[in-house]
Structure formats: C-alpha cells, structure tokens
C-alpha cells in the first residue's frame, strides 16, 4: 500500500514489531546503554547503544521512509551528522559547495575539514556552472535548497546529472523544506542531510541530525563511522523527534500558509526593500521550486532600509523572539550577520547579499494576523522616534 506522506508521519511503525511493545502506540524509550546476550554467538540484534538502540533505530526507519532512502542514521545534531559525513572523504579530496550554506556548515568545512586536507570551492549555483569547477580530485557536490538565508533555489535534477556524469556524490541538505515538501533522493541526490532540530523535531526543544542515503555502499560506510565516532542520537531525543514527526504535515502546511501572509504584508511595507521567499511568483526560485518540491516552506528573509531599523525590529517585536534556529512551532527572527553567519568572512557574506539590513524569519503556527501585527508594530514604532519605543 502506498501511503500519502501525512499518513506515513503517523503510521510507519510496523504491526509485528508493535506486539513486543504491548501494542504501545507511542514507541518506547529504551534508556539503556547495553544489552544482555542469551549465549555466545547470539544477540537480540542490539549490543551497545553507541552502535544502535531500538528507539534510535525506530526514528531512523521513519526518516528513511519519509525521504525514500534505504537507510537513515540519527546523530546528536545536524552538525554531528555533517561532521560524520565528512569522514567519507580523505586527504586531497575536493568538494564543490554552495556559497550560501548554513553558517555552521561553512565553519566546519573551512576550519576543521580543510585542516584535514579536504579542499572546497564555494560557488553560487544560480550564477555559475558547477562543471567549470570540477577537478581531477573532485568527489562531491554539496548544496542546500532553498539556501540559508537568501532562499536561492538550485535545480537538484540538473546538478544530479552533472554529478552522475563525473562520478561525484550529490549531497543535499534538505532541512529547510523537510521531507514533507521535498525529497532530493527522488531527484537524483545520493545523500540527504537534515538538521532534525528544525522542522522534524518542530518544537525548539531538542537537537538532532540525520543522514539519509539510497546507496548500500554509502550506508555501510556510514554505519561504520557512526559506531566509531559515537555521535548517535540518544534514546530520549530519538523519541522527541518521533513525536515531532507525528505533526510534521500539519505544521508544515500551517506555517507555509502563515509565510504567504507575512510575505504579503512585507511586500506592502515601504521600509522593506526586498523579500526573499521562493513562493513569490517571478522570484529566482519560484519555477524550479514548483517543479521539484511540493511547497515553498516557511522560511523567508527580508531586507529593510537600514541596519538601525533591522536592530529596532529585533528589539521591539513583542511576540516573535529574536533567536537563532528555525522550523519550530514558534516564529523566530534571526539576524544572520551576527548570528548564523557571524563566522563567515565578511567579504563572502556581503557578496552573498547578507548585509546588516537582512533579517531571517522562521514562520511558526501562530495566527498569521498576530504575526503581521507584531512585525507592523515594530516597524511602525521606528519612524521618527529614532529607536525609542512608543
Ligand atoms: C541548523 C542547521 C544545520 C545544523 O544543525 P544543528 O542541529 O543545529 O547542528 C545544518 N543545516 C541547516 C540548513 C540548518 O538549518
């Protein structure tokens, strides 16, 4: 039976297995470090929780199915997942990446992985042809789409054809759209990354990360890496993600609906210079996103007329917190230049359009009218009052 994704989010647990859990509808948290063996040469399938734990295995099965992969591995954070992923590469390997990636990923690549002899070229996939940057030692292409925070959209299928022609791995960080709206493996990617901290968990209450693949050889290598480096997700956090996923569909729909309302307001606001959201008709990513995804998501960025106004908004919204992170039920406003992208060299950051006038918003599931009123209140209170609250 081929289930719709809304149903899959709730009913992936298989019936046979549920018998050994007394029919519990919520998957149990196996808070154990180790497992007793019946005799030499026999195992329950579990030996030690660094290698595998039943609750972690369950969340991995769910994520693998949502992304149409053959295997998913759960890590203690998105960065732990990407760090483990990079163990697939060795000294002298070269990777082409998008220039507009999550700041922590750029920090990992340019400070830690580079130290280990891995080379990177960061390019703008909307402007440059990746083929021009392929070298003899190039092993992979690493992208996010839409990008963070400029919401640029990359054609996954097109890039996957180039990757296949040159025998490169295509890695896609799918955090922003989640498996509810986009499945990069279906579009030719070999590996999908998720920060489970974001939409999958959905409640701003835990960190998690995932690697999903549809290739046996990669899955085998990653299984060896996770048991060796020891950054697997804990049983309780695995359970929190399982619980989060139960409402993934309804959260994604509501927050996207809200995002459209906020975009409409921001576009009508004279002090807002530009709004970046792939759901805007005629925008760079609109057509590609419509073709390769089932939605546009609920992440947006906007540029206001001055840095003072940007800072004023962050101080004077009453409802929307000024906080890092995204993908939770609560809306959040982020200031990329001092938060997520503070460690990206200034020149590179500004070349990407991430100036001190740009704010990023993760739209949650509040009433859209309250969110619009909060933003409007903060913006209106700026004019003529030089930052003083009225
Ligand atoms: C947050 C984020 C990460 C890192 O994940 P953590 O769970 O914070 O370690 C990676 N990629 C993207 C796109 C993210 O938003």
Q: What is the 3-state secondary structure (H, E, C) of 317-365?
A: CCCCCECCCCCCCCCEEECCCCCCCCCCCHHHHHHCCCCCCEEEEECCC
Residue-level pLDDT at 12: 76
- Better-scored residue on pLDDT, 213 or 23: 213
Grade residue 11 by pLDDT with cuts at 50, 70 and 90.
confident
> Catalytic residue positions?
50, 102, 173, 198
Residue-level pLDDT at 234: 98
Please report, rounded to a whole number, the percentage of residues in the chain having pLDDT higher than 70: 97
Ligand 1 pocket, CB under 6 A: 77-79, 102, 104-105, 144, 148, 173, 175, 195, 197-198, 207, 209
Among protein residues, the one with the nearest Cα to ligand 1's atom 6 is 78
Grade residue 389 by pLDDT with cuts at 50, 70 and 90.
very low
What's the average model confidence in pLDDT over 48-53? 96
**What is the average pLDDT score of the chain?**
94
User: For residue 201, how far is its CA from the centre of ligand 1 (angstroms)?
Assistant: 12
- In this structure, of 18-27, 86-95, 253-262, the range with the lowest mean pLDDT score is 18-27
Q: State yes or no: pLDDT of 85 exceeds 60.
A: yes
| 218 neighbors 88 (Cβ within 8 angstroms) | yes
What's the average model confidence in pLDDT over 234-259? 98
What tens digit of pLDDT does each residue of 179-232 get? 999 999 999 999 999 999 999 999 999 999 999 999 999 999 999 999 999 999
User: For residue 269, how far is its CA from the centre of ligand 1 (angstroms)?
Assistant: 31
Grade residue 348 by pLDDT with cuts at 50, 70 and 90.
confident
Q: State yes or no: pLDDT of 170 exceeds 60.
A: yes
Atom of ligand 1 at shortest range from CA of 196: 7
What are the beta bridge partners of residue 274?
A: 303
Residue-level pLDDT at 341: 81
**What stretches of the chain adopt beta strand conformation (E)?**
71-75, 94-98, 119-123, 138-144, 169-173, 191-195, 209-213, 272-276, 299-304, 332-334, 358-362
Q: What are phi and psi of 162, to 5 degrees?
A: -65, -45
CA angle 239, 243, 246 (to 5 degrees): 145
- Better-scored residue on pLDDT, 25 or 53: 53
């Amino acid at each position: 039976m081929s289930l719709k994704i809304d149903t899959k989010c709730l009913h992936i647990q298989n019936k046979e297995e549920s018998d050994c859990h007394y029919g519990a509808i919520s998957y149990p948290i196996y808070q154990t470090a180790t497992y007793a063996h019946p005799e030499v040469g026999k195992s329950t399938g579990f030996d030690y929780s660094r290698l595998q734990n039943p609750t972690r295995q369950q969340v991995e099965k769910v994520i693998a199915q949502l992304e149409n992969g053959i295997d998913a591995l759960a890590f203690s954070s998105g960065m732990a997942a990407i760090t483990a992923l990079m163990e697939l590469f060795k000294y002298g390997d070269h990777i082409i990446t998008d220039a507009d990636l999550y700041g922590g990923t750029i920090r990992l690549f340019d400070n830690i992985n580079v130290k280990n002899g891995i080379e990177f070229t960061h390019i703008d996939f909307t402007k440059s042809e990746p083929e021009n940057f392929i070298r003899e030692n190039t092993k992979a292409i690493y992208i996010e789409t839409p990008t963070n925070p400029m919401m640029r959209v990359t054609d996954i299928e097109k890039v996957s054809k180039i990757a296949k022609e040159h025998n490169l791995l295509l890695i896609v960080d799918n955090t922003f759209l989640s498996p509810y709206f986009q499945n990069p493996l279906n579009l030719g990617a070999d590996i999908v990354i998720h920060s489970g901290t974001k939409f999958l968990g959905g409640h701003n209450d835990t960190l998690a990360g995932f690697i999903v693949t549809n290739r046996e050889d990669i899955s085998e290598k990653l299984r060896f890496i996770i048991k060796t480096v020891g950054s697997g997700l804990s049983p309780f956090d695995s359970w929190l993600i399982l619980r989060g996923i139960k409402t993934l569909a309804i959260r994604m729909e509501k927050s996207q609906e809200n995002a459209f309302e906020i975009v409409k307001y921001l576009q009508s606001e004279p002090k807002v210079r530009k709004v970046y959201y792939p759901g805007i008709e005629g925008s760079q990513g609109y057509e590609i996103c419509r073709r390769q995804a089932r939605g546009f998501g609920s992440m947006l960025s906007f540029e206001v007329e001055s840095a003072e106004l940007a800072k004023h908004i962050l101080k004077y919204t009453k409802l929307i917190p000024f906080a890092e992170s995204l993908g939770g039920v609560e809306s959040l406003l982020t200031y990329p230049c001092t938060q997520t992208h503070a460690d990206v060299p200034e020149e590179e950051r500004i070349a990407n359009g991430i100036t001190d006038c740009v704010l990023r918003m993760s739209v949650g599931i509040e009433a859209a009218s309250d969110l619009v009123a909060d933003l409007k209140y903060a913006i209106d209170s700026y004019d003529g009052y030089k930052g003083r609250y009225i």
